[in-house]
Amino acid sequence: MIRVAIDGPAGVGKSSTSKALARHFGFAYLDTGAMYRACAWWCLHRGIDLDADPIDREAVTEAVGEFFTGGHADFGVDPDAPSVRADGEDIAEAVRSTEVSSHVSKVSGIIPVRHVLIAAQRAIIEGERNEGSFSGGRGIVVEGRDITTVVAPDAEVRVLLTAREEVRQARRSGQAVAGVGSDDVAARDRADSAVTSFLSAANGVTTLDNSDLSFEQTLDALIRLVDDAIEEQNRRLYAANLEGYDLDEDDRRLLEGSDAAGNEDTQAGPVSVGVLAVVGRPNVGKSTLVNRILGRRAAVVEDTPGVTRDRVAYDAEWAGTAFRLIDTGGWETDVEGLDSAVAAQAEAAISMADAVVFVVDGQVGMTATDERIVRLLRSSGRPVIVAVNKIDGQNAEYLSAEFWKLGLGQPYGISALHGRGIGDLLDAAVDALKKTKRRSGTATPAGLRRVALVGRPNVGKSSLLNQLAHAERSVVDPTAGTTRDPVDEVIGIDGDDWLFIDTAGIRRRQHRLTGAEYYSALRTQAAIERAELALVLFDASQPISDQDLKVMSQAVDAGRAIVLVFNKWDLADEFVRQRVERLWNTEFDRVTWARRVNLSAKTGWHTNRLPDAMREALASWDRRIPTGRLNAFLGRLQSANPHPLRGGRQPRILFATQASTRPPRFVIFATGFLEHGYRRFIERSLREEFGFEGTPIQISVTVRERRKR
């Protein structure tokens, strides 16, 4: 049974929310305030002068005692029709009269009267434990004075419902309850506070301030508290099956719920920041400089021109100033194909930036390409800071002097590889960002759902990103392996912002990769680990390869939510489509629980089906099953389909709990080893009962034996 005790001053909505809460769970409802009003009515009905000074306390106490012990009082606990009767007469309306309201505090202020009522309230609460009671033993919601501290100090849920005084007065003034105005309520609170405390929460009592909450929001908060209490009670009930078994400290922590995960990222609003683009011709050290500024190896670096191809944005900070840092591919003139697309991305980065760091090679000196870039930068109107890279020591400082002739101000000699001169360069760059007073960028908000686009090379990951962003965000080229750095892009879909991570294609035999491809593969794996959801892309126009399945397994093994995307479906003929359907029940047997979307990233056909599949997969990834429901379900499952005998013994499930989410992980305590086939049966049954479409499920079995006497 769950006992919910709700206290608080007048005007917070105790009665309305308590009734709604009781209806939601099928609990009984007891308004203890009505009991005090009924006592005042009874005293007036018996002719006791409640206006006397002093009041006859003995007469009042005797009358109230007779009211309860003589069988005169009857209080119904149906939240839809809470009744108050005296000798069979319905007095629910009478106890709300102005006369009763003006005298109730005089009765409730008598300590012996409170003792009588506390005993009566406890009797009604305990009566709900019986199966024949109104709630059938499920529980009761009790609201009123002293409930959380005196009447039911050991209730499973204890709440002090409160609100600011002006809010409470406005609510009660608007209710127009039998002439009871805000002044009357304030006076009653002052009178009641002389004998009870309801303005601050006692130890263990949850304070819920609903000044700025709607009725529905207040009710939802209370429902969550009761759900937690039910979960805790059920956990203790089923955990009792482990009494008498040997348990270690990890087992006990798990049973206490301390391992339960559920850390939700908090959603933060967008923060405007300056944008600093790093540009230059190929192989001058732009990505090395970006890594140095970030303080980590985020960008792929290799001593070969043209490693970076996309424009890649990162969140950065220097001296307390946050900004967006954009790494770009090398800019060249008169190039075609892939190199032309890379140059176009660099030009787009300049147009997006608030300031630009122009990186040149001090060892090579000024080139014709550098001069062409300078003309491009001047036409953009952006402030430019010249970084002369590869000045590795004091003796090489003179090499920077040549770049004064660019007419862009002081050239800063740096060594991106060793960190020399980076501080002075960043001071100048941040100062330029402040002077522009532009904030073209937005820091990546915390709490965005993170989605990684993964697949083997040339399946259309960058094309899908561009289609979802409705912009040429990533370089797309028929050459396999165009993308090397993971590209983060915040994209709004159906009113929700998502953080998409475009990754490099994962190739076969990763241990044989070298150079940029090797580091791209490492960063792709890191991107999968950073993501919450993996969109695993397949080229529907090509046969499914072992590498396709390997990429899929990589995402599953990482424990990420999964959506399978069959791209280029418009290029697949009927034979190819039938082949995919045949493979679905064989090669994809490991992920039959995943949603599958057939689309065309190039044309946008059926890309509108992705958001629902993504939301469903993430909802499953976050799903938690209450311990009571889980153990009741496994109990029915075990009774209908017991584990096969092993060595003359039949393993039995004692207790199960969901240890964590993201992905859902279940721990089962059993008397013996559960075979792999039976675990698969449990997993299938869990999916049929609770959903979990789009997420892997992890099930571990802990075998425990009875404690030896």
pLDDT digits (tens, 9 = 90+) for 191-205: 555 545 555 778 889
Question: Which of 75-79, 411-415, 488-492, 626-630 has the lowest average pLDDT?
Answer: 488-492
HSE-CB for 525 with a 13 A CA cutoff: 11
Residue 480 structure tokens = 């396999």
CB 474 within 8 A of CB 486: no
Give me the pLDDT at residue 22, please: 97
Query: 212-234 pLDDT, tens per residue?
Result: 999 999 999 999 999 999 988 99
Give me the pLDDT at residue 74, please: 95
Beta bridge partners of 357: 278, 385
3-state secondary structure 221-268: HHHHHHHHHHHHHHHHHHHHHHCCECCCHHHHHHHCCCCCCCCCCCCC
Task: Name the pLDDT band for 480 (thresholds 50, 70, 90).
Answer: very low
Question: Which of 47-56, 131-140, 475-484, 650-659 has the lowest average pLDDT?
Answer: 475-484
Give me the pLDDT at residue 112, please: 95
Question: Which of 171-175, 568-572, 692-696, 699-703 has the lowest average pLDDT?
Answer: 171-175
Mean pLDDT in the chain?
Answer: 85
Task: Name the pLDDT band for 336 (thresholds 50, 70, 90).
Answer: very low
Task: Name the pLDDT band for 648 (thresholds 50, 70, 90).
Answer: confident
Task: Name the pLDDT band for 337 (thresholds 50, 70, 90).
Answer: very low
Task: Name the pLDDT band for 250 (thresholds 50, 70, 90).
Answer: confident
Binning the chain into helix, strand and coil, the percentages to the nearest 5 are 40, 20, 40
Asked if pLDDT for residue 136 goes beyond 60, the answer is yes
Give me the pLDDT at residue 49, please: 95
Give me the pLDDT at residue 486, please: 53
Query: 71-108 pLDDT, tens per residue?
Result: 999 999 999 999 999 999 999 999 999 999 889 989 98
Task: Name the pLDDT band for 304 (thresholds 50, 70, 90).
Answer: very low
How far apart, in whole angstroms, are the C-alpha atoms of residue 634 and residue 257?
Answer: 19
Predicted TM-score (pTM) of this structure: 0.68
| Region 609-628 average pLDDT | 94
Q: What are phi and psi of 146, to 5 degrees?
A: 65, 5
Task: Name the pLDDT band for 375 (thresholds 50, 70, 90).
Answer: confident
Q: Nearest to residue 629, comparing CAs of 230, 256, 254?
A: 230
How far apart, in whole angstroms, are the C-alpha atoms of residue 627 and residue 255?
Answer: 10
Give me the pLDDT at residue 306, please: 40
Sign of the alpha-carbon dihedral angle for 432, 435, 436, 441: positive
Q: Nearest to residue 444, comparing CAs of 273, 236, 615?
A: 273
Strands (E), 569-697: 595-598, 653-660, 665-670
**DSSP state for residue 643 in the 8-state scheme:** P
Residue with the two structure tokens 């008498």: 244
Asked if pLDDT for residue 179 goes beyond 50, the answer is no
CB 628 within 8 A of CB 659: no
Question: Which of 72-76, 524-528, 530-534, 653-657 has the lowest average pLDDT?
Answer: 524-528
Give me the pLDDT at residue 470, please: 84
Residue 493 structure tokens = 């879909």
Order of strands, edge to edge, in the sheet holding 206-209?
28-31, 139-143, 2-7, 157-162, 206-209
| Region 369-381 average pLDDT | 87
Please tell me which of 41-55, 271-285, 346-360 the model is most confident about, judged by mean pLDDT: 41-55
Query: 394-442 pLDDT, tens per residue?
Result: 888 899 999 999 999 999 999 999 999 999 999 999 999 998 877 766 6
| Region 509-518 average pLDDT | 47
Give me the pLDDT at residue 709, please: 67
Please list, in sequence order, all residues whose beta carbon lies within 8 angstroms of the beta carbon of residue 263, skipping any fewer than 6 positions away.
none
| Region 568-594 average pLDDT | 88
Please list, in sequence order, all residues whose beta carbon lies within 8 angstroms of the beta carbon of residue 546, skipping any fewer than 6 positions away.
508
CB 330 within 8 A of CB 340: no
Give me the pLDDT at residue 314, please: 82
Q: Could you tell me the maximum CA-CA distance found in the chain, to the nearest angstrom?
A: 109
Question: Which of 82-91, 307-316, 516-525, 699-708 has the lowest average pLDDT?
Answer: 516-525
Asked if pLDDT for residue 287 goes beyond 70, the answer is yes
Asked if pLDDT for residue 702 goes beyond 90, the answer is yes
Q: Is the peptide bond before 153 cis (omega within 30 degrees of 0)?
A: no
Asked if pLDDT for residue 265 goes beyond 90, the answer is no
Instruction: Identify the three-state secondary structure at position 592.
Output: coil
CB 276 within 8 A of CB 325: yes
Give me the pLDDT at residue 198, please: 54
Instruction: Identify the three-state secondary structure at position 295.
Output: coil
Q: Nearest to residue 355, comparing CAs of 383, 379, 322?
A: 383
Query: 28-66 pLDDT, tens per residue?
Result: 999 999 999 999 999 999 999 999 999 999 999 999 999
Give me the pLDDT at residue 477, please: 44
| Region 506-535 average pLDDT | 64
CB 361 within 8 A of CB 286: no
Q: Is the peptide bond before 611 cis (omega within 30 degrees of 0)?
A: no
Question: Which of 247-251, 344-348, 506-510, 593-597 has the lowest average pLDDT?
Answer: 506-510
CB atoms within 10 A of CB 107: 28
Instruction: Identify the three-state secondary structure at position 175.
Output: helix
Residue with the two structure tokens 């990589």: 554
Which residue did the predictor score with more confidence, 548 or 695?
695
How far apart, in whole angstroms, are the C-alpha atoms of residue 282 and residue 346?
Answer: 11
Give me the pLDDT at residue 258, please: 47
Task: Name the pLDDT band for 521 (thresholds 50, 70, 90).
Answer: low
Give me the pLDDT at residue 300, please: 45
Give me the pLDDT at residue 186, please: 60
Please list, in sequence order, all residues whose beta carbon lies within 8 angstroms of the beta carbon of residue 153, skipping any fewer than 6 positions away.
none
Asked if pLDDT for residue 478 goes beyond 60, the answer is no
Question: Which of 62-76, 139-153, 364-378, 515-529 has the lowest average pLDDT?
Answer: 515-529
Give me the pLDDT at residue 175, please: 58
Asked if pLDDT for residue 479 goes beyond 50, the answer is no
How far apart, in whole angstroms, are the C-alpha atoms of residue 321 and residue 273?
Answer: 9
